[in-house]
Amino acid sequence: MSPGCVGNTGTEPHRVVSWQPTLGNRTIAQRPTRIIMEQDKPVLSNRDIAFGLLFANAILRTMQVDQILYVVLSGATSGEGLGFNRGVFFLVDDDQRHLRTRMAIGPVHEAEAHRIWEDMEQQDLTLETLLSDYDRVKNDPCAHQLLRKLGHLCVPLDQLGTLVENATSPCQFGRAAIEPMLARCLFEMQPLHSRTVELVCGEDNDITPVVCRNWWMVPVVMSGKMLGVLLVDDAFSERTLSCGMDQLLDALANLAGIAIEKSRLFDEMRALAQVDGLTGLANRRTYQEAVDRLLTQARQTGQSLSLLVFDVDNFKKYNDVHGHQAGDDVLRWVAKLLRSGVRKTEVVGRYGGEEFVVVLPDTTYEQAMVIANKLVAKVRTESAQGELGPITVCAGVANSPRGSIASEKLFEQADLALYRAKNAGRDRVEGMAPER
C-alpha cells in the first residue's frame, strides 16, 4: 500500500482505546503535525493530557447528539486539537435506512478559510472557548455554510454493496464522488485516507461543489452497530501527517460513538417517560421539544420541515352516541394508524383532545401534502373495514423552508389550514403554502 492512502488490508483494524496528540497552538496553515512515539506508544506531554481532559469532559458533559458532534468536530479542527481544516459528521438515521450529513465545521472555500483563521487568531480563541460556544453557534446561520452545501448528501444503506463496487481506490489519482467512498468506509468498517483522490460533494449542476483534499474517513461503530462516518480534510493547507493519524481519528470516533449511543439511550428512556398516557404517542411537551430541535437542524442544513395537524371529524358526536370508552378506542386507533403511516424519524404526537401532530423533517410542502392525503385516505379506508365504524379525519399542512418559520407560527398556519378543511366538508386536506 502506498504512503498516500489507507484502506482495507484484510486484517483487523488496530483499535486504540486512548490517545493524545502532541500539537502546537498555532494557526492551522502554519502548524506541522508532530506525534512523538516510543515503542509504538504515544508519549503524552502536559499539553496532551490537558487537551484530553478538556475534550473528554466536554463530550461526556452533554446528552445532546448535536452538541456531542460539535465537540468532536471542534476538537478535530481546533488549533489545540488535530488541526484539520474541516470536519463533517455523517450519521445513520434512526430507522437505519440512510447515512445523512448531520454536522459540519469549517470553511467552504479557501478565501473563507483564511478569513476564519485570521479572525480566530485576532480573537485568540481557545479550544475551551469553542467548546463552550455551542449555544451561540447552533443558531448562527453564518456558521453552517458548509453544512448547507453538504446537507443533500444521502447514502442508502441497502445499496452499500453496489456503491462500494463503484468506489475509487484511495491510491488512485483524480476526482471521485464522495458517496461511494462513504459507502466503502461503512461497508468495510475501516479508516480510509488519500492525498491523491479528491472527493467531490455537490448537487447536480453545482458549479462550485465542495472538494475534499488530503482527507481521512473513519467509521463510527458501537457494539457492531453502524452509527456514522467522521470525515476530516486539509483542503487549504499543506502539512505532513503522521502514519498513526488513522489510529488517532479512530479513537476519536470511538469516543464519539460511546457518547452518541449514550445520548440515544437517554432519549429513548426520556421518551418513555414523556408519552401521552392514552395513545402512547409523544405528548405536547415532547412534541414541542422535538419540533424546536428539528427546526434548528433545518436552519443549519437549509432543508425544509413540514408540520401536519390532524383532527378527528365529529368526535364529540361519536362520544355522545357510543360513549367515552369507545371514543378513547378511536383515539388509540387513529394514533396507531398515524404512527404506522410515517417513518420512524418523523415525530407523531397527541397535541390535545382529538388533535394530533406529525413533524416531517427534510420534507417540502408538496411532499407533505402527498403524505397528509395518504394518511387521511388510510383512515377512511381502514375504518370502513373495522369494528369502530366509519371514521374520518381532517388535516392541515404547513411548511418551514430552511427552518425560517418558528414552531409557534408554523403550528398556527397548519391549524388555520385544518380549520379550512373542516369548513370545506371534513375528510380532506388543506394546506398553507410557504411564500416563495
Task: Name the residue with higher pLDDT: 83 or 315.
Answer: 315
Q: Among residues 270, 297, 312, which one ends one of the domains?
A: 270
Give the pLDDT score at 13: 37
> 130 near 73, Cβ under 8 Å?
no
Q: Is the pLDDT of residue 9 over 70?
A: no
The pLDDT tens digits of the residues spanning 294-350 come to 999 898 888 899 999 999 999 999 999 999 999 999 999 999 999 999 988 899 999
Cα 91–chain centre separation: 6
- Confidence band of 40 (pLDDT split at 50, 70, 90): low
Q: What is the CATH number of the domain that holds 226?
A: 3.30.450.40
Give the pLDDT score at 382: 93
Residue with grid cell 417517560, as numbered in its chain: 273
Mean pLDDT of 209-227: 90
- Confidence band of 18 (pLDDT split at 50, 70, 90): very low
State pTM to two decimals: 0.70
Q: Is the pLDDT of residue 388 over 90?
A: no
Assess whether 343 and 218 both reside in one domain: no
- Residue 265: which domain range? 5-270
Assess whether 226 and 298 both reside in one domain: no
Q: Is the pLDDT of residue 431 over 60?
A: yes
Mean pLDDT of 91-103: 89
Choose among 274, 293, 292: nearest CA to 284.
274
Residue type, 304: S
Q: Distance between CA 81 and CA 35 in Å, rounded?
A: 12
Assess whether 213 and 86 both reside in one domain: yes
Measured at the CA of 14, the angle between CA 10 and CA 20, to 5 degrees, comes to: 150
Residue with grid cell 450529513, as numbered in its chain: 101
Assess whether 240 and 263 both reside in one domain: yes
The alpha carbon dihedral of 156, 159, 164, 168 has a sign of: negative
User: For residue 150, what are the CA distances in angstroms to 86, 200, 233?
Assistant: 12, 10, 14
- Confidence band of 64 (pLDDT split at 50, 70, 90): confident
SS3 28: coil
Give the pLDDT score at 5: 63
Q: What is the mean pLDDT of the chain?
A: 82
Give the pLDDT score at 33: 39
Give the pLDDT score at 152: 87
Assess whether 32 and 177 both reside in one domain: yes
Assess whether 252 and 111 both reside in one domain: yes
Q: Distance between CA 372 and CA 432 in Å, rounded?
A: 13
Choose among 296, 331, 315: nearest CA to 407.
296
Mean pLDDT of 149-158: 90
DSSP assigned state of 159:
G
Assess whether 208 and 159 both reside in one domain: yes
Assess whether 68 and 192 both reside in one domain: yes
> 284 near 352, Cβ under 8 Å?
yes
Please count the structural domains in the chain. Answer: 2
The pLDDT tens digits of the residues spanning 230-257 come to 999 998 888 776 666 777 788 788 888 8
Q: Distance between CA 99 and CA 91 in Å, rounded?
A: 5
Assess whether 265 and 279 both reside in one domain: no
Q: Is the pLDDT of residue 28 over 90?
A: no
Residue type, 140: D
DSSP assigned state of 319:
H
Assess whether 76 and 89 both reside in one domain: yes
Give the pLDDT score at 144: 82
Please, which residues have CB within 8 angstroms of residue 260's CB and are 6 or more apart in sequence?
A: 65, 68, 69, 91, 220, 222, 227, 228
